[in-house]
């Protein structure tokens, strides 16, 4: 109710000429106004903004603020005679890992890895998934049968085994495979993750499109003279944005964790590239004496995941005209 009283889109405003009228706003303004009202989502958005800033400025911070490069081993400074690293202190803010590297710098760099996977891999899978789902749901019939069987095939592949094979196959030589098109490293990992993720997006979108295309507004658009492409993009697509957005916030953490799993198995990002997932795996054997090795990467992984979810929720509410009162 508090929200309702604060809502201003529909409240009449007194015009200079004395008549009551409703201010006209663009849809984007309306969505933004409602998103802004969701405090948790706003806080999460700010947090994600900070994480992105941190990821971008990680080299600057490591060089000019803490003066510790991510892969330098500070064995004398951080490890005792048994090889147990030191905890957080004024020089090593998050402590050090078992190899004597600055955990703070590595967590910053880890944000890069995770966010690249989060945006790039998820972006590719959403792009493919939405396109395939849209086409197969819209055209139905044979097109749908062909595309749906294809997604079934992808979904029935043994993900981890194939990922191992792909990454190993393409990652062995530094020139990569497919004539240098795919190179080992973070991008390869992103492609592999995207390859196994898009069928889920596609299924979701297909179902939505099958439902939506029976609505009369699709016929109305056709009757007005819209082409199939225009109907798909202008009429149907805006209606699947909300579920896709919410689903995306769910697969982002999954993808971050998938990257971690691949890294854990030694086929993810190269050993010198810090990644939260890998840090967590490394901490597994030693966290009883060095809690910080698990807490800091874990905390950031958790917060980033949560923030993506809350932002997604906020967007869903703001995009859904029915929740706008």
Partner 1 sequence: MSTHVAERTEAAPRTDRAPLLKLTGIKKHFPLTRGIIFQKKIGAVHAVDGVDLEVYPGETLGLVGETGCGKSTLARVIMRLHESTEGTIQFEGRDITHLEGKELRALRRNMQMIFQDPYASLNPRKTVGAIIGEPFRLHGTVPKNRIRDEVKQIMQLVGLNPEHYNRYPHAFSGGQRQRIGFARALALRPKLIVCDEPVSALDVSIQAQILNLLEDIQEEFNLTYVFIAHDLSVVKHVSDRVAVMYLGKIVELAPGETLYKNPKHPYTGALMSAVPIADPDLATVKKRIILEGDVPSPINPPLGCRFHPRCPRAQLPICAEQEPQLLPQHPGQVAACHFPLEDRAVITEDIETPLHKAEDAPPDGQTAAKAPDPSQWEPGNAE
Residues that bind partner 1 (CB under 8 A): 10, 21-22, 24-27, 30, 145, 215-217, 219-226, 230, 235, 238-239, 241, 321-322, 324
Give the pair of three-digit tokens for residue 311. 């932002």
Question: CB of 145: closest distance to partner 1 in angstroms?
Answer: 7
Angle between helices 103-116 and 292-319 (to 10 degrees): 30
Contact 259, 113 (CB under 8 A): yes
Question: CB of 324: closest distance to partner 1 in angstroms?
Answer: 7
311 or 319: CB nearest partner 1: 319
165 or 238: CB nearest partner 1: 238
Question: CB of 310: closest distance to partner 1 in angstroms?
Answer: 23
Question: CB of 214: closest distance to partner 1 in angstroms?
Answer: 8
Using CA atoms, how far apart are residues 225 and 229, in angstroms rounded to an integer? 12
131 or 239: CB nearest partner 1: 239
Burial 219-246 (b: 16+ CB within 10 A, else e): eebeeeebeeeebbeebbbebbebebbb
Using CA atoms, how far apart are residues 198 and 23, in angstroms rounded to an integer? 41
Question: CB of 35: closest distance to partner 1 in angstroms?
Answer: 16
Contact 294, 287 (CB under 8 A): yes
217 or 302: CB nearest partner 1: 217
30 or 306: CB nearest partner 1: 30
């Amino acid at each position: 109710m508090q929200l309702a009283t604060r809502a201003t889109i529909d409240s009449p405003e007194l015009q200079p000429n004395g008549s009551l009228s409703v201010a006209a706003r663009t849809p984007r303004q309306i969505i933004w106004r409602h998103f802004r009202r969701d405090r948790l989502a706003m806080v999460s958005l700010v947090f994600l903004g900070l994480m992105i800033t941190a990821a971008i400025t990680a080299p600057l911070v490591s060089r000019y603020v803490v003066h510790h490069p991510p892969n330098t081993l500070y064995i004398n400074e951080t490890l005792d005679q048994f090889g147990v690293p030191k905890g957080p202190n004024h020089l090593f803010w998050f402590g050090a890992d078992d190899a004597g590297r600055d955990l703070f710098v590595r967590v910053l760099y880890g944000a890069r890895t995770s966010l690249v996977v989060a945006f790039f891999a998820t972006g590719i899978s959403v792009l493919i998934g939405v396109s395939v789902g849209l086409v197969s749901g819209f055209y139905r019939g044979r097109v749908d049968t062909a595309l749906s069987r294809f997604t079934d095939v992808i979904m029935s592949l043994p993900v981890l085994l194939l990922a191992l094979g792909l990454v190993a196959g393409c990652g062995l030589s530094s020139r990569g495979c497919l004539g240098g098109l795919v190179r080992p490293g973070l991008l390869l990992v992103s492609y592999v993750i995207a390859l196994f993720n898009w069928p889920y997006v596609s299924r979701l979108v297909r179902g939505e499109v099958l439902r939506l295309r029976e609505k009369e507004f699709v016929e109305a658009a056709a009757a007005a003279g819209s082409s199939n492409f225009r109907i798909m993009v202008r009429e149907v697509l805006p209606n699947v944005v909300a579920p896709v957005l919410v689903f995306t916030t769910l697969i982002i953490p999954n993808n971050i964790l998938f990257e971690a799993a691949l890294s854990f198995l030694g086929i993810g990002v190269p050993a010198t590239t810090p990644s939260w997932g890998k840090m967590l795996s490394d901490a597994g054997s030693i966290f009883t004496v060095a809690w910080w090795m698990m807490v800091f990467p874990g905390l950031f992984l958790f917060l980033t995941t949560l923030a993506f979810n809350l932002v997604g929720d906020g967007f869903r509410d703001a995009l859904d005209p029915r929740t706008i009162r």
